[in-house]
Amino acid sequence: MGNILWISRRARSVFHWSLLLAPTLFLLAVILYPFLVLVHDFPFDLSSASITGSSIISQLLRKAIYNSLLQGGASALFSFAVGFPLGVFVGRYRFRLRKIAKSLMLLPFFLPSIVVVIAFEAFFQHLSGSSTQIAFLASFTTGFPGIIAINVFFNAPLVALITSLAIEKHDPALEDSAKTLGSGKLKQFYTVWGRDGILAGTSASLLAFLYSFAGFTAPLIIGGQGNYTFEVLIYTLYGLSNVSLAAAFSVLQTLILLIPVIVLSLSWMKQGRVTGLPSEENGKPGSGKWFYAGLLFLCLFIAAEMAILASLFISSVDIKWTSQFSFAAYYQLFGKSTGYRLNIQPFMPLVNMLFYASLAAGISTLLGMAWILGKRRLRRKPDSPFDIFQYIPLLVPSVVMALSIFIVFGTRFPVQYMWLLIVIVQASVAIPVTLRIISAGFSRIPESMWESASTLNGNAFFEVELPLAGTTLGTSLMFGFAIGMGEFTATNFLTSYSSSVFMPLGIEIYKLQNLRLIAASYAAATILLMLSIMFFTLIQTVGDRFIAFR
């Protein structure tokens, strides 16, 4: 009898370990394995990829490293400069419409990259053309200034949110105690709430560095010849059929990114888990000069954000901003001539996008649910060094991921099933986000509750834990859907080298820009913007306790 019980416990342990490892095994199989095969099957001469050489390749490589580091560093610095004060304000003060202000502040981080690039183009080009006094604003739609402006637009809200979360968690009683003991304002800031806020803001800036270092959409579309990043160079090399060099540069970029990814994961472990937005009742009552200065800064940020996004919609119905509204852009978008030039039925990009994003959301959420069940049953720590495997999609950049997956699996897939590769990539990119959301939703459920349910022969996970996790499942699905809907880099690569019939809406926008069908691209970007805002609103309404990264 004892042996039977031991075998039963052993079998349950193996089952729970398989659940815990499900996301990791998935990422190892569809990202890391193809990447290693790419490196093995396309050996490269290190001398040809030398950083110090005088060849054209070496010069291109040095320029890519310089551009990636410069854009990543500048974007991280300016994201911190803009996002940290916003985070301090919304974390320190309690005021009316605080929750709405946070949502509006976070919105840019949620939008597809291609939408933001087109919105910047619509806003700054029209604004600069309206007056010779502000013609310099056109610089924000091209080159280095435009890339940095777009990166800050994306990442400053992330820095602000994570900073505010860290500040909101401090106990107000500690600040009162510090005052009673005679601590000065500087010491109160450092010992009570400021240190946590700075650490959180710095880690978020490091994440902004990772996103910007591996930037692709903005450098590709508006960067020009002199501002290409690693990702753009690898994409270009493969387009020129130089797979060996593309593989070499992929390895080099991954090695460079390895250090910040490890530092980031260690910083998150030290800071502890983010378990959701704290109560809206936290914070000091709004008053005083610092409050009004922070409120003004927040209002200016939200106003600029709304103006940039609104300009995209205006451009879709009035391409010249002459107050002569017309839906010609939408007629052009869904017209037969546009579909003929893109070699796809007019409505198919929208259908493809919804289909891919739905499957990607389902796969990433299912893997996340298996992971959290295994982690809770095995009583694993919420954050551990082993969890670094969840961040493989950050370590292997999207264009490298798509390149290796296409080389390893693309030749084995019949053409009609190439869409599976797009779904796999989008699900992989969503996994780090959905796992953090799911971890946040289950973090407050005591283990004793599932133990009691098991004792009563109930299904602890589906009958107790999942209902208590609130809207975690819905939030994960919607966030995974939004990530799949906005993923551009890998999807662009796969559709460029497979078939146009698999093209989703985000890639269609890029193709329309290349064909100089500007009005149709504005209309398509507006549709994608409206869908993104809709799902963002659903997440805020249905599951408003989340924190994750793009």
Distance, first Cα to last Cα, the chain: 51
Question: What would the pLDDT profile of 138-157 be if each residue is shown by its tens digit?
Answer: 667 778 888 999 999 989 98
> Of 88-97, 192-201, 300-309, where does the model show the most confidence?
300-309
Q: Which residues contact 509 (CB under 8 A, 6 or more apart)?
A: 114, 115, 118, 521, 524, 525, 528
* Rounded distance between C-alpha atoms, residue 173 and residue 181, angstroms: 12
* Rounded distance between C-alpha atoms, residue 250 and residue 236, angstroms: 12
φ/ψ bin of 43: left (φ > 0), alpha (ψ from -120 to 50), beta (otherwise): beta
Q: What's the token pair of residue 369? A: 């649910």
Question: What would the pLDDT profile of 364-422 be if each residue is shown by its tens digit?
Answer: 999 988 888 888 777 776 566 566 777 788 777 788 788 888 888 877 777 777 888 89
User: 427 falls in which pLDDT band (50, 70, 90)?
Assistant: very high
Integer CA distances (angstroms), 323 to 311, 314, 319, 333, in order: 13, 9, 10, 21
Q: Which of 52-56, 179-183, 545-549 has the lowest mean pLDDT?
A: 545-549
pLDDT at 545 over 50: no
Q: Which of 31-45, 121-135, 389-403 has the lowest mean pLDDT?
A: 121-135
User: 300 falls in which pLDDT band (50, 70, 90)?
Assistant: very high
Q: Yes or no: say if 506 and 353 are a contact pair by the CB < 8 Å rule.
A: yes
Residues in the chain: 550
pLDDT at 27 over 70: yes
CATH number of 10-41+332-550: 1.10.3720.10
pLDDT of residue 385: 58
Strand 93-94 relative to strand 284-285: parallel, antiparallel, unpaired?
Answer: parallel
Q: Yes or no: say if 531 and 424 are a contact pair by the CB < 8 Å rule.
A: no
Which one is predicted more confidently, 91 or 183? 91
Q: What's the token pair of residue 180? A: 């009673």
Question: What would the pLDDT profile of 325-347 be if each residue is shown by its tens digit?
Answer: 788 888 888 888 888 888 888 88
Question: What would the pLDDT profile of 446-483 be if each residue is shown by its tens digit?
Answer: 666 655 555 555 566 666 666 666 677 777 888 888 88
pLDDT at 354 over 80: yes
In the chain, domain spans? 10-41+332-550, 54-326
pLDDT at 129 over 50: yes
Tell me, yes or no, if the two domains 10-41+332-550 and 54-326 fold the same way: yes
Q: Yes or no: say if 481 and 538 are a contact pair by the CB < 8 Å rule.
A: no
Cα 375–Cα 381–Cα 384 angle in degrees, nearest 5: 100
pLDDT at 46 over 70: no
Span 282-304, mean pLDDT?
Answer: 80
* Rounded distance between C-alpha atoms, residue 354 and residue 356, angstroms: 6
The answer to pTM > 0.85 is: no
User: 274 falls in which pLDDT band (50, 70, 90)?
Assistant: very low
In the chain, % helix, strand, coil (3-state, to 5) comes to 80, 0, 20
The fold of 54-326 is: MetI-like fold (1.10.3720)
Q: What's the token pair of residue 221? A: 């579309």
pLDDT of residue 278: 44
